[in-house]
Structure 1
Amino acid sequence: MQCHDGWLDGARRVPSPNVNERPEREVSAVVVHSISLPPGQFGGEHIEELFTNRLDPEAHPYFASIAGLKVSAHLLIRRDGECVQFAPFEARAWHAGRSSWFDGHCLRRELNDFSIGIELEGDEMSPYRDAQYRALARVLHALFDAYPEITPQRLTSHARIAPLRKTDPGPSFDWAYLRRCLQHR
């Protein structure tokens, strides 16, 4: 896998309108998220519909509460490992919201400004699939190659950058297994 002009080779492109320019060209961190729509259900087009402002609020009772959200991520990794890209990595996707993170040197705020958001199709209670970990490792290697400031130490979670608001990807995400996957190219 490689990145070309901010797009990941092999990823299916579904452009989101919920992006804008980064205030600076810096791309130096990755935030791992999880999402399932409706909550706890996998498959279908609802995530793509949410990120492209096409979610039908009548399709499920939960959707009425989120249908007006303007959100996106750079990439979604489905349960089978398929990668769907919504925004070029150089653009600011709207995935982190109000956020802050101590990156080892200083406290950084507004992670959308400098991070790449990767959503895993899943929830915080169900185990993620091996295909997702392997796909995430391949994506991360491509990002390490394309953006030298992104390193394994600059991976974080939505829970770590917005701990009072978010808990994803949750306790079912195996960070140790991801690190082992990253050791293999």
Structure 2
Amino acid sequence: MSGLVLDRQGWLRPHAGVLLAPSPNCDARPRSVEPTLLVIHNISLPPGQFGGPEIVDFFQNRLDYSSHPWLECLRGMTVAAHFLIRRDGQIVQFVATGDRAWHAGVSSFKGRERCNDFSIGIELEGTDTEPYCDEQYSALKSLTRALRARHNLSAVRGHEHIAPKRKTDPGPKFHWRRYARESQWLLRELPPLA
């Protein structure tokens, strides 16, 4: 999926394989704060199930909690990442990159608290225990290039790195070295690799 471009507000321009699904779960970034950190997450709703409408509905505050017993534990939560990459590589954008999406929660990077203020969040449809799809790596590569062309990103971390006692995603099945190679990140910008 090449040719992705962000407009001045930080929305992807119309492109095959991209869906815009604006979420209310965002607000303005603090004055004079630009995003410099990219945060990779994973999500599946219900857990371990892929392809349904639940993630989009959750990020748009329209989730039918009665559709699966597990979903009731999400009631009252208002969260969204900037982007979701589905198993087939489709990119769904919820929040303009110029705005603050509510994706990281209590978090810290290099001693700086509140990562939502200065980060862009990408959810991969998946779990900590299942490999991610080639189509997802391809879409992530294209999206990363578009984000780096628009923003001065200086690092990328998993949710597990900025909230280590709370979160485990994207988990051990995410291949950081492949992502570094395909997305042309310098290794010093990645989390420490085993």
> Could you say whether these structures have the same fold, taking a TM-score greater than 0.5 normalized by the shorter chain as the test?
yes
Quote the Cα distance in structure 1 between the aligned partners of 2:12 and 2:161.
Answer: 26
Letter of the 1:16 counterpart:
S
1:130 aligns with 2:134: yes
For 2:12, the equivalent position in structure 1 comes to 8
Quote the Cα distance in structure 1 between the aligned partners of 2:75 and 2:53.
Answer: 14
Quote the Cα distance in structure 2 between the aligned partners of 1:136 and 1:8.
Answer: 14
1:96 aligns with 2:99: no
Residue 50 of structure 1 contacts residue 67 of structure 1 at CA under 8 Å; is this kept in 2? no
Letter of the 1:157 counterpart:
G
Instruction: Specify which of 125, 150, 153 is matched with residue 153 of structure 2.
Output: 150
Letter of the 1:40 counterpart:
G
Letter of the 2:118 counterpart:
F
Quote the Cα distance in structure 2 between the aligned partners of 1:119 and 1:19.
Answer: 15
Quote the Cα distance in structure 2 between the aligned partners of 1:8 and 1:127.
Answer: 27
Taking the TM superposition and a 5 Å limit, the aligned residue runs for 1:65-144 are: 65-102=73-110, 107-144=111-148
1:30-87 Cα offsets, whole Å, 9 max, x none, are 1000000000110010000100001111110111000221000100000011000000
TM-score by length of 2: 0.89
5+ long unaligned stretches in structure 2: 186-194
For 1:174, the equivalent position in structure 2 comes to 175
Quote the Cα distance in structure 2 between the aligned partners of 1:120 and 1:126.
Answer: 12
Quote the Cα distance in structure 2 between the aligned partners of 1:135 and 1:34.
Answer: 15
For 1:160, the equivalent position in structure 2 comes to 161
Residue 56 of structure 1 contacts residue 67 of structure 1 at CA under 8 Å; is this kept in 2? no
1:19 aligns with 2:33: no
Runs of 4+ in 1 over 2 A off after TM superposition: none
Quote the Cα distance in structure 1 between the aligned partners of 2:62 and 2:27.
Answer: 19
Letter of the 2:150 counterpart:
A
1:181 Cα deviation after fit: 1.0
Quote the Cα distance in structure 2 between the aligned partners of 1:180 and 1:101.
Answer: 23
5+ long unaligned stretches in structure 1: none
SS of the counterpart of 2:67?
Answer: coil
Residue 19 of structure 1 contacts residue 91 of structure 1 at CA under 8 Å; is this kept in 2? yes
Quote the Cα distance in structure 2 between the aligned partners of 1:130 and 1:179.
Answer: 14
